[in-house]
Amino acid sequence: MKTVLLLCILIAVSAENEPEKPECDGIHVRGKFHKKEVLGRGLNRPYQLGLLRHSHKIFFSFNVGSDEEDTFKIGFIEKNHTSHQVLEDVENGFALAVDDENHVAYFGGSSGIYRYHDHPDNKEHKVTKILHDHNIWDMFYKKQLYFITFPKQHLYKLDVHKDGSKPERVKDIHEEIYQFAIDGDNDKFITNETGLFRIKSGSKLRVHYKGETVFRAIEINNKEEAFFSGKHCISVADKKKHELEEIAHVKNIFGLAFDHEDNIIYSDPHEIIRLLPAECEKKPPK
Ligand SMILES: *[C@@H]1O[C@H](CO)[C@@H](O)[C@H](O)[C@H]1NC(C)=O
Ligand SMILES: *[C@@H]1O[C@H](CO)[C@@H](O)[C@H](O)[C@H]1NC(C)=O
């Protein structure tokens, strides 16, 4: 009897103390509230993202085709603009990677790779085709340019700092892969149909990371930590437990990038959003 009464009191107390949770218009990252800043809107499935930080340009690939047949172009948004510009020189541009240090962005399309060089002072930019006859699925930059071909899903590397260099198949990665990245520990991450694998620096062993199996992007932040965008989440790798740790739940996420302060920028089927730490703002009444 006593225990029943005590239980009732406990339940009553906890119900009373339960604060009314306000509905916040934002997203929690590692348990902390972040508000959404809309950087681009009205886009049709902006997929891959990349930033040139010195000129405050956000690049993205997006769909300009019909719902039945995808055609992609590369667009970019300048700081303080929400409307975008399109780089018409890049044929069916889908993949992108950025060498921020050298102010260069690379775009991959159905017929090769292009280099975009920025001149922030005179507001000019130059797009040059640097590789022909390759259909590019995804790209990653670290010292050199790594790219994955379509439809074979083979990984190649290209020494973009030497004129006339030829792409080379990365021998260590025999798998057909969807994404590739190298983090600050020189660990490699690959994804394929089975899911995510980490290849520790100096090792050939593939360690499977449990959890999500469908990935849209792997991106490295300024501290050279790897972040993974799954179907509805952003995760980081827990290298002790060999599993992914979800740090944010984001519905229908595609691309991922980081600004100079490592704020997360992501894309969903229509928008490009930056997440900024903030106090919870109540959703306006509908
Ligand atoms: C963007 O807008 C802010 C505030 O209005 C301003 O301080 C800044 O100079 C602008 N930046 C550019 C690149 O136009
Ligand atoms: C993905 O790669 C892993 C590691 O090499 C391999 O074990 C697995 O069979 C691959 N999955 C597919 C579907 O090829």
Which residue's CA is minimally distant from atom 13 of ligand 2? Answer: 193
Mean pLDDT of 7-19: 45
Mean per-residue pLDDT, 215-240: 97
3-state class (DSSP) for residue 266: strand
The alpha carbon of 258 and the centre of ligand 1 are apart by a number of angstroms equal to 19
Regarding the beta carbon of 79 and ligand 1, being less than 6 Å apart is answered yes
pLDDT band at 18 (very low <50, low <70, confident <90, very high): very low
- Residue 78 CA, closest ligand 1 atom number: 13
Highest mean pLDDT among 21-30, 50-59, 106-115: 106-115
Judge contact between 201 and 215, C-beta under 8 A: no
Ligand 1 center–CA 55 separation, angstroms: 12
With H, G, I as helix, E, B as strand and everything else as coil, classify residue 11: helix
Which of 14, 22, 16, 27 is closest to 246 using CA atoms? 27
| pLDDT grade for 119, boundaries at 50, 70 and 90 | confident
**pLDDT tens digit string along 76-105?**
999 888 889 999 999 999 999 999 999 999
pLDDT given at position 16: 47
114 vs 226: CA distance, rounded Å: 25
Q: Show the ligand 2 pocket: residues with CB < 6 angstroms.
A: 175, 192-194, 197, 206
Q: Does residue 3 have its Cβ closer than 6 Å to ligand 1? A: no
Point out the ligand 1 atom lying closest to the alpha carbon of residue 79: 13
pTM of the model: 0.87
Give 24's pLDDT tier (boundaries 50, 70, 90). Answer: confident
Q: Region 1-28: what's the mean pLDDT?
A: 54
**What pLDDT was estimated at residue 120?**
65
Going by alpha carbons, the residue nearest to atom 2 of ligand 1 is: 80
| DSSP annotation of 107 | E
Domain boundaries, the chain: 23-277
Residue whose CA lies nearest to ligand 1 atom number 3: 80
**Ligand 1 midpoint to CA 80 (Å):** 6
- State which ligand 2 atom lies nearest to the alpha carbon of 174: 5
Which of the ligands is closest to the CA of residue 176?
2
Please identify, by atom number, the ligand 1 atom nearest to the C-alpha of residue 56. 13
Contact between 250 and 268 under an 8 Å Cβ cutoff? The reply is yes
Structure tokens at 273: 């959003």
Q: Report which of 182, 178, 191 is spatially closest to residue 145, judged by C-alpha positions.
A: 182
36-58 confidence digits (pLDDT tens):
999 999 999 999 999 998 888 99
List the structure tokens of 246: 């979800």
Hey, what's the torsion of the CAs at 234, 238, 241, 247, to 10 degrees?
A: -40
Which pair of structure tokens corresponds to residue 164?
A: 């006339």
- Class of the CATH-defined domain 23-277: mainly beta
Which residue of 39, 79, 81 sits with most ligand 1 atoms within 8 Å of its CB, as the best mutation to test the pocket?
A: 79
> Are the CB atoms for 140 and 111 separated by under 8 Å?
no
